[in-house]
Amino acid sequence: MSNQRHKILVIEDNRDVRENIAEILALAGYEVFVAEHGKAGVEQAILHKPDLILCDIMMPELDGFGVLRILSKNPATSGTPFIFLTAKAEREDFRRGMGLGADDYITKPFDDVMLLDTIELRLKRSNRLRNSFDGTEHGLQQFFNEAKAQDNLLALADDREIRRYEKRDVIYAEGQIARWLFFVVSGKAKSYRVNDIGKELITKVSAPGDFLGMIPLLRGEKYTDSAMALEPCEIRLVPKEDFLKLVFSQKEVSAAMIKVLARQIEETELHLLHLAYDAVREKVSGVLAILCERYQQDGVSRIPLLREDLASLAGTAKETVIRTLSEFKEDGLIEIDGNDIVIRDVNVLRRISH
């Protein structure tokens, strides 16, 4: 029985908090390891291969983010559920600013029940995950054509944990290590890159049904771009391992993925051409034409994006976008209702941008 007990590692610099947690967990039947700072935590994690890690964010020497990053890189520990401990005041900041690199977070002070519930939930999820493979792998064998492969990819997102993001919440950020594939259930999100002087270029606006953060998973590296919710979003998290296993072990899925990527390369190159030589009028109309489809509803498109975001999409200054929009309004191409842009006829815009 004793070797079936779950092992939990607690990394926390405050002695009282650390011992308190350790005590609770021990009473609840877990095997507990403790570390009083990040470095020790990493060592312990590698040594004991715990089933779950609780980790404070604010610590001297190596903070929680650093620990997560190091452990994510190590194949032996990258799949371990990771829960952040955060002071109440930090929480808001942390959610907004960093995206959730971890599986969950617990706000200090916490009560015992909440702590145990959260841990149990994560352990259960992680278990289900590990088992899900042996089950599905057989099921996959039946798919032999491409259409099915696509379905397969979509089915990957079924029945996963849903996480909710508020407007402007970070979904993932440049530099973080990729641990999940994100599937947009509702709402819209932007993927963007930031250059040295802080200017932002949006490379994609994702709508329900789209996947986010695929490339870094395929490359097995850190994110080189970031993603943020443009409006309240529901997003399913597919663990990296599930995605990779599906993509690389199934011939048909690999083939489908190759086509998806090839298509994306082509689109991105076309984007390059437009960014390089189009005048602002063309860039802005091109952006509107693309957004038009994504925001279509009952034959009318109502685009509620900030001018700032439009500018990042077009690769121009905010004021320039605003001026161009004013022109379009005067020409009767668009209407502006409140701050939203309303498009009645896309084709004229398409003609401008070619």
Binding site for DNA (CB under 7 A): 279-281, 306-308, 315-317, 319-320, 322-323, 325-326, 336, 338-339
The torsion defined by the Cα of 74, 240, 208 and 138, in degrees rounded to 10, comes to: -170
Name the one range near a copy of itself by CB under 8 A: 134-142, 163-171, 266-274, 325-333. 266-274
141 binds a copy of itself (CB under 8 A): no
Question: How far is CA 152 from each of CA 128, 184, 213, 217, 286, rounded to the nearest angstrom?
Answer: 19, 16, 18, 18, 33
Gap between the Cα atoms of 127 and 217, Å rounded = 21
The torsion defined by the Cα of 182, 183, 189 and 195, in degrees rounded to 10, comes to: 30
Angle at 202 between CA 234 and CA 270, to 5 degrees: 120
Q: Please identify which residue in 128, 168, 251, 329 interacts with a copy of itself, judged by CB under 8 A.
A: 251
CB proximity list for 289: less than 8 A, separation 6 or greater: 346, 349, 350, 353
179 with 238: CB under 8 angstroms?
Answer: no
User: Measured from the CB of residue 186, what is the shortest distance to DNA in angstroms?
Assistant: 21
351 binds a copy of itself (CB under 8 A): no
Q: Please identify which residue in 96, 125, 193, 323 interacts with a copy of itself, judged by CB under 8 A.
A: 193
Count CB-CB contacts under 10 A for residue 34.
19
CB of 113 or CB of 197, closer to a copy of itself: 197
**DSSP code string of 33-50:** EEESSHHHHHHHHHHH--
CB of 56 or CB of 225, closer to a copy of itself: 225
CB of 114 or CB of 317, closer to a copy of itself: 317
CB of 54 or CB of 310, closer to a copy of itself: 310
Backbone angles phi, psi at 81, to 5 degrees: -55, 140
User: Measured from the CB of residue 146, what is the shortest distance to a copy of itself in angstroms?
Assistant: 10
CB of 294 or CB of 307, closer to DNA: 307
**Among residue numbers 289 through 348, which ones bind a copy of itself (CB under 8 A)?**
315
Binding site for a copy of itself (CB under 8 A): 193, 195-197, 199, 201, 203, 214-215, 218-219, 224-225, 247-249, 251, 254-255, 257-259, 261-266, 268-278, 315, 354
